[in-house]
Structure 1
Amino acid sequence: MEINGKVIAISGGASGLGEAAARYFLQAGAAGIVAIDLDGARGSAIEEELGDKYLAVACNVADTDGVQAAIDAGLERFGRIDVAIAAAAIAGPAKLLSRKGPIPMDRFDQVVKVNLYGTVNLARSAAMAMSRNEPNADGERGVIINLASGAAYEGQVGQIAYSASKAAIVGMTLPLMRELAGHGIRVVTVAPGAFDTPMYEQAPPEVKEGIVAASLFPKRMGKASEFASFAEEIVRNPMHNGRTYRFDAGLMLPVS
């Protein structure tokens, strides 16, 4: 799918990988970005910087009605949705057993609702909008890019909620692709490794140092712009469909 003139809805579009993708796609000729993010102040600041092509919508992605309202706002502003990137996520570190006792289930629920329900909320609203697009020569109407994580495969200690939510996103990739193929909508999941984003700002320095030490090449954390470039490749190349791509320079996450 050509990016020029297309509209991209991005959850988590005001920070980290989502913000990088928003900026990248606008530079590549996108007609508009619908940035769905809980941080309304940050979204408004970016909107003021980038102008009318960036629509910031403050929303908790776990709120089904809120996500639908955000997509509706994007349709009203831009007239269409062509691509959806589900980049919103929280870490919610917690062990099953800690000094304070078993994991509080409301903490587990919060991570699953943001990471997994939030991904489904965006997919359901965006896919409905895409299904009304005029198809291109291949019959393509839209592209959905969901974000899993290397933690879906090698979860670290304290990541049971995060790993479970991201593994579920990997698991639903193929059935989503099979279902939406009839609508001309592609579905791809990207499982990034350790990227230098605000999520890692919460981690102690020794955690980041351990990840860099475990990296072989390049011996650093990933850059958000590198994810954005890969997302562009997925959108442009129609042979990307129904797969989960690990995007981590071969990094195997350490135990903790």
Structure 2
Amino acid sequence: MQVKDTAAIVTGGASGLGAATAATLIAQGAHVYALDLASAIDQAPGDERITYLPTDVTDEEQVREAVRVAAETLPLRTVVNCAGIGPSARILGRKGVHDLALYAKVVQVNLVGTFTVLAVAAEAIAQTEPLEHSQRGVVVNTASIAAFDGQIGQVAYASSKGGVVGMTLPAARDLAQHGIRVNTIAPGIVDTPMLATVSEEFRAGLAAGVPFPQRLATPEEYAQLVAMVIEHDYLNGETIRMDGALRMAPR
């Protein structure tokens, strides 16, 4: 599927994986609607080719309004879900039991938020004119290798990302009749703004654990894989690890 002269939604589009994905889709001729929190958009580099829409992915009405705007002029064909949070806490820590509200929030943002955008956007994509082989669009979700190799302190994050992996195939099957493909990317350690505050020594230690290439991934490599998934019309219902063959140790 080609994205030129179509609309694309990228959640978490103001920074990191989302910003790199937005730039890649723009380069291919799409008009990108970047959904993110207002505070993140305020920090985003200005780009007149991107329409920034302040949106909390856990708020159904905000998501519906953002999708309405994105689908208003050009056919909405692409959705990439990058929005997410990743706080760390053990089930039993020094301060007692894992904060149950924090656990629920991580699942609400990473899993329920992803599903909300997927479902509401799919409704709009299903109303577009079909392309060759009745295809109408594609959704790419973001999981993590923590879905498979969750470390100590990642129980909430791993739960949420495991849910994203688990819904990939049934979502693809549900939406097949509408010509909408659904795939998921599970990145390993990516050099995003979340790692910007750690020391070079710590970063080097993370990179050393990757079999090959022995470095951190870049957001641009994630975006490159998104573009490949969009273009490959027979790729559907799959979760693709992008991790340099890394399998995370317990800690």
Fold equivalence (TM over 0.5): yes
Is residue 50 of structure 1 aligned with residue 47 of structure 2? yes
Look up the equivalent residue of 1:50 and give its one-letter code. Answer: D
Give unpaired runs (5+ residues) of structure 2.
none
1:211 aligns with 2:174: no
Instruction: Supply the distance in 1 between the matched residues of 2:197 and 2:115 (Cα, whole angstroms).
Output: 26
Q: 1:151 to 1:203 in 2, by over 3 A?
A: farther
Count matched residues.
251
Which residue pairs with 1:38 in the alignment? 37
Residue 34 of structure 1 aligns to a residue whose secondary structure is: strand
Judging changes above 3 Å, is the alpha-carbon distance between structure 1 residues 205 and 105 closer, same or farther for their aligned structure 2 residues?
A: farther
How far apart, CA to CA, are the structure 2 residues paired with 1:205 and 1:164?
Answer: 29
What is the correspondence of 1:39-188 to structure 2 with a 5 Å cutoff? 39-40=38-39, 42=41, 45-46=44-45, 49-51=46-48, 53-76=49-72, 78-188=73-183
Q: CA deviation at 1:5?
A: 1.2
Residue in structure 1 matched with residue 21 of structure 2 by the alignment: 21
Paired residues of 1:90 and 1:199 also in contact (CA < 8 A): no
| Deviates further, 167-176 or 193-202 | 193-202
Shift of 1:246: 0.6
Q: Using structure 2 for the length normalisation, give the TM-score.
A: 0.95
Q: Equivalents in 1 of 2:225, 2:42: separation in Å? A: 23
CA shift, 1:249, in A, is 1.2
| Length-normalised TM-score, structure 1 | 0.93
Whichever residue aligns with residue 19 of structure 1, its letter is A
Q: Contact 2:3–2:77 at 8 Å: present in 1 too?
A: no
CA contact under 8 A between 2:168 and 2:237: conserved in structure 1? yes
The structural deviation recorded for 1:39 is 4.0
Cα root mean square deviation, aligned: 1.6
Identify if the C-alpha distance between structure 1 residues 228 and 41 changes in structure 2 by more than 3 Å, giving closer, same or farther. Answer: closer
Gaps of 5+ in 1: none
> Matches of 1:88 and 1:187 in 2, distance apart?
17
Question: 2: distance between equivalents of 1:207 and 1:132?
Answer: 48
Find the aligned partners of 1:50 and 1:4 in 2 and give their Cα distance: 18
C-alpha contact 2:33 2:50 (8 A) present in aligned 1: yes
Q: Among the aligned pairs, what percent are the same residue? A: 37
Cα deviations across residues 154-184 of structure 1 (Å, max 9, x unaligned)?
0111000000000011111111011100000
Question: Structure 1, residues 99-130: CA drift from partner, whole Å, max 9, x if none?
Answer: 11001111101100110011011101110010
- Distance (whole Å) between structure 1 residues aligned to residue 102 and residue 202 of structure 2: 22
Structure 1 residues 98 and 19, CA gap change in structure 2 (3 angstroms): same
